[in-house]
Amino acid sequence: MSRHYFIAIPIEATELIHVQHAILPYYSYRRIYRPDEFHMTIQFLGYVDGEELDEVKEITRRICEDTLPFTLTFRSIDHFGRPDRPRVLTIVPDDSEPLQRLAHALRQELVDVIPRLDRKAFVPHVTLAKKWDAGERVPYVSPEFQVTESVEEVILYEVQPNHTPAYRAVEVFPLRRPEEDIWQSRLKFLT
């Protein structure tokens, strides 16, 4: 069986669990994402061989070392597909220049290494559920929420469809620490 991979930002905000539970009764999905599966895909890679995987890791490491941590804010529920039977239910972040720069840099370099990569536009989102089951969506007033997530790393995941969770972290790429963090940790060591 060939292995498939993707690069994503892990999403750990526990408040998203409450949002997910509040809106799921109005939908009908076969696949509900677990909190430990929440992530924002930057690039789906599909099958990559060992040499390509090494190049993906090197590119991701280099770009992450040039990217400072940033924060995402989530306030909106969205979906992909028909409004009455959306195939994917998502939460989307507010516009974020640092996220767009990171995604653009990664995707631009990765397509040079793996020309067959999916080149669909980057649509930032966190999937809550997918695979519509039966019936129609029940109309509701979307709950108000504001959830923030600190982005301090990017992860290369392997898809494991027959496991729980369905994704395994292969490698973690920390974003560059701000200079003041580095100096504070050095000062603690010296005192």
In this predicted model, what pLDDT tens digit does every residue of 10-21 receive, in sequence order?
Answer: 999 899 999 999
Does the domain formed by 4-190 have CATH 3.90.1140.10?
yes
Compare 77 and 184 and report the one with higher pLDDT.
77
Residue 21 designated active-site: no
Residue 104 designated active-site: no
In this predicted model, what pLDDT tens digit does every residue of 94-121 receive, in sequence order?
Answer: 999 999 999 999 999 999 989 888 888 9
- Find the catalytic residue in 4, 18, 79, 125: 125
pLDDT at 164: 84
* Residue with the two structure tokens 């005192």: 191
- Find the catalytic residue in 4, 39, 104, 163: 39
Domain ranges of the chain: 4-190
pLDDT at 161: 85
**Residue 142: pLDDT over 90:** no
The residues near 163 (Cβ < 8 Å, ≥ 6 apart) are none
The residues near 106 (Cβ < 8 Å, ≥ 6 apart) are 7, 42, 43, 59, 60, 63, 154
In this predicted model, what pLDDT tens digit does every residue of 31-81 receive, in sequence order?
Answer: 999 999 999 999 999 999 889 999 999 999 999 999 999 999 999 999 999
